[in-house]
Structure 1
């Protein structure tokens, strides 16, 4: 890791920096802030360059975590940054495993991986008024970056009834619902999905649960308690709580069941090729009402410029001399000065902790692997469930 490169220009806000690939540049600069000087590290990506693209970095399973540098090198990315907030601990549910799964929706290579947990089950700082866990930042098949909301649209159909699908590979399901877990979830326990309520993450786990495994359109297994272990490809595990559990108990081995699911954008007509969760802080050049103007922290964010043809990935330095960080309002100001019209907050660190998820990596030209360009708080990368990878075919 080490300190940031010495050729950075203090206060620089305009496009520039050192090129790491055609259409991709890196730079860093210092920001005089309300709590002291912060240092920003930025990847500037020209999405109009056909040799350049972005996609989701993740460790091959929704319920798993890895360092950004490991994810980037494993995917062959030239750069990357950490992504969504995630289920990091379960102190309120003794004996329940924290899944490490992200809060919001996720799309990788055009394929929906997961839906959003209920708002009250979210980990992370408070969102601006009116924003939900369905908020995403992504890039469509038209190669333009945008912010939107992604809603889960799904159904479980049996011989007797049709049930709305309440979740897809989520660490928390709505009360009374049925959720689907596929091979994308991984081997992490599914018990956490039945804990808490839609408004209280720390509420006790449900005592009324049931799960069934569906393979080739038929129920092949049934259990009263959500299980763990990998879900076989071609199979779907349905987990129900309360009313959802009562519906699943009506099924017997051999019964026909079909499951469908998709993520539907609220505004975008062009499907997302890549998307991940977080929350918007800047829209149409104006800060969202109610953003935090007080709490300074080491943060990660993304900005959208040039009508979606330019994506800016920003990560603050977590070394002791810069650990005071920025408020969300100061992050918004920085993104605007970089040329962004829209801005999106990703997982960073809270003011009360020395450990932050904020990590930005870039591969030096000619090198075989990426280098961590900022200094993560605590001196090492924190494993994360996903991130944004920058790719080049040059």
Structure 2
């Protein structure tokens, strides 16, 4: 088990937003904001505060927008923002408004482009695992299929930030445990609503996937995202526990709530053919001589916590028990989004940098870890950045959220697959 998967240590540092705290790895919070960079704090809702301030960094000042969430307050909670399907995208403000969140930030890295695979469309699905309202939405793609900057040593696409049913935030890893039970035997399940399946595996797609093509799941390899799409694939559609159709290539379109589509590649495709060859139906009626029921089972298993997760999403850890992870990039500056954990998981710090031209150099990942440590975080987790970095929050008395930072895409929000939503009971 890696260090970042251990239980949370005790948070000892106090939150200090508007005080010069000294430099840690080149980043320091400073009290004087440059002209045009307002410095203020607003109570968004009970237990939720928004503030903005400057950070002196390696390549010039960065401007941070921060939400501090007190999970000890019974009126506030965190959950996953998402557009209703894994393979779909929407702006953070749209997701937050649709779900009634009072604030939020963008989330995981995602399948944003497919220039290496002509004719294959990007799915928009996120890289890592995702849990919303206690239910698993998806599992992680192989490390080599990840979009985003290089992972720090010892981390993987299975790493998550989440909040358990005990209302404590923590960092963890979530792996898929699944199987396909058939009358002829049991098959391993190694994918759940993922845009990329491991080589030689079988993955399940449910109604939570959406309508995007499932072809992308059979492209690339575990080590090379740009590798060609597999030519050995097979798809089986199971409805109500019965096989209703098979196909030699993955399909597309919405999946009904009582239906699971199994997609196999290489050895996985060969297993599906062996078990289900000749199983056909017309008009959705199971064929005569069907060999019995098929049951697909899966769950996401935590590496460290025994407490079930209320919500979780992917990214990668940058701070563990008060120490930056070894090998963090200290040279490449960019606009970033990240989340910190303090006070034994009872306080969460959501940070998004401003993408306005005067601040666009941003922070290095090492500086992000240092800044969150200065804000009292003991553990911290990097989320998608660049044009995706967005922080939204309601103005006092407003019914919907507004964007507080300046996204780098000309000030326009980028559509993203998920985010961290802050919810409050009035």
Normalised by the length of structure 2, the TM-score is 0.88
Match of 1:287 among 321, 324, 332: 324
Which residue, out of 210, 214, 218, partners 1:190?
214
Do residues 169 (structure 1) and 200 (structure 2) align? no
> Residue 19 of structure 1 corresponds to which residue in structure 2?
43
SS in 2 for 1:192: helix
- Partner residue, 1:130: 154
| Distance (Å, rounded) in 2 between the aligned partners of 1:118 and 1:9 | 41
Aligned to 2:284: none
CA-to-aligned-CA distance 1:43-77 (integer Å, 9 cap, x gap) = 00000000000100000000000000000000000
1:305 paired with 2:342, answer yes
Deviation at residue 13 of structure 1 after TM alignment: 8.0
Shift in Å, 1:17: 2.4
* C-alpha distance in structure 2 between counterparts of 1:9 and 1:50, whole Å: 27
CA distance in 2, matches of 1:10, 1:309: 23
Structure 1 distance, partners of 2:109, 2:45, is: 28
Is the CA contact 2:60–2:359 (under 8 Å) kept in the aligned structure 1?
yes
Task: Choose from 92, 97, 102 the match for 1:78.
Answer: 102
Check whether the contact 1:58–1:385 (CA below 8 A) recurs between aligned residues: yes
Alignment counterpart, residue 268 of structure 2, candidates 244, 249, 255:
244
| Structure 1: runs of 5 or more not aligned | 1-7, 350-355
1:13–1:338 contact (8 Å) kept in structure 2: no
Give matches, 1:262-281, under 5 Å. 262-281=299-318
* Inter-partner Cα distance in structure 2 for 1:230 and 1:9: 50
- Per-residue CA shift, 1:250-304, capped at 9, x if unaligned? 2024343110000000010100000000000000000000111110000000000
Aligned to 1:393: 425
1:55 to 79, 99, 102: 79
| Partner Cα distance (2:405, 2:319) in 1 | 24
Measure how far apart 1:10 and its partner are: 7.7
Q: 1:44 aligns to what? A: 68
Other-structure match for 2:405: 374
Aligned mates of 2:105, 2:230 — CA distance in 1: 36
Cross-structure match for 2:176: 152
Aligned to 2:393: 362
| TM value normalised by structure 1 | 0.95
Show structure 1 runs of 4+ deviating over 6 A. Answer: none
Instruction: Confirm or deny that 1:28 pairs with 2:52.
Output: yes
Q: Secondary structure at the match of 2:190?
A: strand
SS in 1 for 2:358: helix
Partner Cα separation in structure 1 for residue 272 and residue 422 of structure 2: 42
Contact kept? 2:30, 2:56, Cα under 8 Å? no
Answer yes or no: is 1:340 the counterpart of 2:372.
no
Segments of structure 2 that go 5 or more residues without pairing to the other structure are 1-16, 21-28, 32-39, 281-289
For the residues of structure 1 that align with 2:30 and 2:106, how far apart are their CA atoms? 22
Partner of 2:249: 225
Q: Deviations over 1:96-133 (max 9, x none)?
A: 01000000000000000000000100000011101010
1:96 paired residue among 104, 115, 120: 120
Q: Report the counterpart of residue 137 of structure 2 in structure 1.
A: 113
CA displacement, residues 22-51 of structure 1 (integer Å, 9 cap, x when unaligned):
000000001111101100000000000000
Counterparts of 1:196 and 1:243, CA distance in 2: 15
Deviation at 1:222, TM superposition (A): 0.5
Does structure 1 retain, via aligned residues, the 8 Å contact 2:30–2:54?
Answer: no
Secondary structure of the structure 2 residue equivalent to 1:247: helix
| Residues 298 and 348 in structure 1, CA contact (< 8 A), matched pair in contact too | yes
Query: 1:363: Cα distance to partner?
Result: 0.5
Q: What residue is the counterpart of 1:3 in the other structure?
A: none
Question: Judging changes above 3 Å, is the alpha-carbon distance between structure 1 residues 13 and 263 closer, same or farther for their aligned structure 2 residues?
Answer: farther
**Could you tell me which residue of structure 2 aligns to residue 141 of structure 1?**
165
Q: Give 1:213 deviation, angstroms.
A: 0.5
- Aligned CA RMSD, in angstroms, stands at 1.3
